[in-house]
Chains A and B, each alone.
Chain A
Amino acid sequence: MRNEPTETCTPVEISDDDIYEAMREMSGYLDITPGDFKEVYVRAFQHAVRRLTRAMRVSTIMTTDVTSVTRETPIRVVAELMAERKISGVPVVDEDEHVVGVISNRDFLAALGGYRSGTLMKIVADCLKGSGCLAVEVRDQRAEDLMTSPPVTAAPDTPIVDVANIMAQRGINRIPIVYPNGKLVGIVSRADIVNSSLIG
């Protein structure tokens, strides 16, 4: 997120007259101008928004029923699993449930297209040119051959805004949520953040 939400958020519009009237209602002399008070109010409002926004932790919106695969899972099985569950990425875990990488649609595209920025249309174009289905060449690979590693992860108590910032900066669509010991506990996607009341 390039703009902090608190910077773009306009507080309830309070007029100089509102402040003047409020000051009049309070007995005794207040040695502050309505203009200074307004500045205090606007800044305090931004702090409140920031505090409330940061109070929303990623653990409240993450999916805990995570589909994961192991290093040794054949990519055919990974693809079937992602198709079946209609998900665009899965974490790869070791025998202790520690997240060691992530496989997403993009990793498949890169593998099939032969380079990292592989796009679906590049693959379609190559197929149509008659060079055969590229997928056949990588048929025997395993999850660890395709996965992006090391994975970008976050702790359950990370503020949602921070997770959103990480996604934007790293250009990724999902982040596995792990306990401090590295064990997988959930996953959060861009859609989860969009659906959360944070940005609604």
Chain B
Amino acid sequence: MRMDYFSKMKGASKSPPPVSGWEIFLSWLGSFLGIGAIALMNLEINGTSDTTFVVGSFGASAVLVYGATKSPLSQPRNLIGGHILSAIIGVAAFKICQGEVWLAAPLAASTAIAVMHATKTLHPPGGATALIAVLGSDKIHALGFLYALFPVGVGVLVLLVVALIFNNLWRTRCYPEYWL
């Protein structure tokens, strides 16, 4: 084994600078409003006891679209495309593997990453969306491919609309960097 293999593990660069307190506040407020809008929508449909439509990966998307607005990973193409493609792949993996979750789970996540790369829609929360399609509740499984449209499609659309409205209110922010 060559020595530079191990020296690679030391890391050569350094961590980016911290953001200002103001930025931290904006990230907090934006994500509160974005996730809040989805939670309210779920409340209207399901009542307080059931949070099926607040998909866990929305929290991860909130990190990006309210906390790292400049990142290519956070742009609308990636947010919408990454989630919807991954949701379809997750449901398909669950159906193809017929309940063999140990196989469906890695297949869903890895295929979602490959497809997001190939379509230039890489969005890390998409991996979670695919995995949730496999590991989710019976209620999620019962949705079938509808999962990609609702709750996933509608949920990310809410996140996007809130991000467009909120991020552009401030002098230091603008969103998106690009659409397609």
For chain B, residues 159 to 178, give those with C-beta under 8 angstroms from any C-beta of chain A: 172-173
Interface residue? B142 (CB, 8 A):
no
In this complex, the member of B13, B27, B73 whose beta carbon has the largest number of chain A beta carbons within 10 angstroms is B13
Interface residue? A150 (CB, 8 A):
no
* B14 pairs with A20, CB closer than 8 A: yes
Interface residue? A33 (CB, 8 A):
yes
Q: How far, in whole Å, are A33 and B11 apart by their CA atoms in the complex?
A: 11
Number of A-B contacts (CB under 8 A): 50
Min CB gap A187→B, angstroms: 49
For chain B, residues 7 to 40, give those with C-beta under 8 angstroms from any C-beta of chain A: 12-17, 19-20, 22-23, 27
* Range for the number of chain B residues in contact with chain A: 10 to 19
* Range for the number of chain A residues in contact with chain B: 10 to 19
The one of A23, A31, A36 that contacts B17, using a Cβ cutoff of 8 Å: A23
The one of A24, A30, A33, A34 that contacts B70, using a Cβ cutoff of 8 Å: A30
Min CB gap A25→B, angstroms: 9
* A35 pairs with B14, CB closer than 8 A: yes
* B16 pairs with A16, CB closer than 8 A: no
Q: How far, in whole Å, are A27 and B172 apart by their CA atoms in the complex?
A: 6
Residues of A within 8 A of B (CB): 16, 20, 23-24, 27-36
Residues of B within 8 A of A (CB): 12-17, 19-20, 22-23, 27, 67-71, 73, 172-173
